[in-house]
Amino acid sequence: MDQRGSTDTFLFEGFRFHSCDRELFRLDEAGNGSPVSIGSRALDLLGLLVERQGKLVSKSEIIDVVWRGATVEEANVTVQISALRRILDQNRELGSCIQTVPNRGYRFVALVKRVEPAHPLVLTVPPGNSSRASLPSSSPALPDKPSIAVMPFANISGDPEQDYFADGMVEEITTALSRIKWLIVIARNSSFTYKGQVIDVKQVGRELSVRYVLEGSVRKSGRRLRITAQLIDALTGTHLWADRFDGSLDDLFELQEDVAISVTGVIEPTLQAAEIRRAAALQTSDPTAYDLYLRALAH
């Protein structure tokens, strides 16, 4: 049972989950959704539990669906359950929405509402362009908090074996950025729908509902690697920051970690400065409130 084949939308306890796109949104009082950054394994697991709401799902079935039958330790299931609980149970007063049935499995106990689409979305592919379907012109509104999407890094080395390194680089950066509490980071599986495509940053901003986009590339020369990265304002297309990093193929994992730490360390103050400039351009009828708002941003 592969949850990605479903096209349903589920509502439960202040969240909206799209099983087709494997995307989770946190809803505010007005019903507007902010993307929740969470790993693809956890999203697959959530889809299975929500689809089977109220029913026991065994650990073996979870492994079959989430890991596609691969041989993994049951501890991996526990890790993903914990990741879901940290997000879903934040505002819960009585227990977890995911019930543990000792030695048997798990059950999703929160009330779930399945929402059927009133008008099916039909994606068409223009003649001569089979790589990406056209999307509707209307896009979700930007969230109130700063938001960013880390796009798949391009492998321009001519070595297909470096794809795994470029993908791992993106995952490291996405994970590091998700630790910035005031920043919404789009889930990796959403941004990777653009892999291999020539992207329009403004279009990506509209489709993913983000203000900022980070893109980059990986190039191999002998035993050396060069990683470039650039941060772009998706609303205006303006480049806010760019840099490059060099390292050896002998220390791939260390290089990934060093680049992720360096990029995050630069992006955080860069985004703060960009948000202050953006706020300064907004008009308000209450100068005192606006002044206090700007003072608060510094903290």
Cβ neighbours for 136, distance < 8 A, ≥ 6 positions apart: 121
Query: Taking a C-beta distance cutoff of 8 angstroms, is the pair 151, 236 a contact?
Result: no
Average pLDDT over residues 20-46: 85
Per-residue pLDDT, 13: 86
Q: How far apart are the first and last CA of the chain?
A: 47
Query: What's the whole-model pTM score?
Result: 0.49
Average pLDDT over residues 178-182: 84
Residue 32: CB atoms within 10 A of its CB come to: 13
Q: Is the pLDDT of residue 138 over 80?
A: no
* Most confident range, picked from 115-129, 248-262, 273-287: 248-262
- Could you tell me where the beta strands, DSSP code E, fall in 51-195? 57-58, 98-101, 105-108, 113-115, 147-150, 154-155, 184-185
Q: Identify the DSSP state of 155.
A: E
Average pLDDT over residues 156-171: 81
Query: Taking a C-beta distance cutoff of 8 angstroms, is the pair 15, 88 a contact?
Result: yes
Query: Taking a C-beta distance cutoff of 8 angstroms, is the pair 134, 128 a contact?
Result: no
Q: Identify the DSSP state of 163.
A: H
Per-residue pLDDT, 249: 76
Per-residue pLDDT, 273: 81
In order of 36, 60, 111, the CA distances from 15 in angstroms are 9, 27, 11
Q: Is the pLDDT of residue 276 over 80?
A: no
- Domains 3-115 and 147-281 in one fold: no
Confidence at 289, pLDDT banded by 50, 70, 90:
confident
* Most confident range, picked from 27-31, 67-71, 224-228, 246-250: 224-228
124-137 pLDDT, tens digit each:
444 444 444 444 44
Average pLDDT over residues 236-252: 85
Domain ranges of the chain: 3-115, 147-281
Span 147-281 CATH architecture: 3-Layer(aba) Sandwich (3.40)
Cα–Cα distance for residue pair 138/262, rounded to 1 Å? 36
Determine whether domain 3-115 maps to CATH 3.40.50.2300.
no
Query: Taking a C-beta distance cutoff of 8 angstroms, is the pair 85, 37 a contact?
Result: no
Question: Given its phi and psi angles, is residue 246 left (phi above 0), alpha (psi -120 to 50 degrees) or beta?
Answer: beta
Q: Which residues pair with 114 in a beta bridge?
A: 10
Summary mean pLDDT of the chain: 80
Residue 251: CB atoms within 10 A of its CB come to: 12
3-state DSSP assignment of residue 176: helix
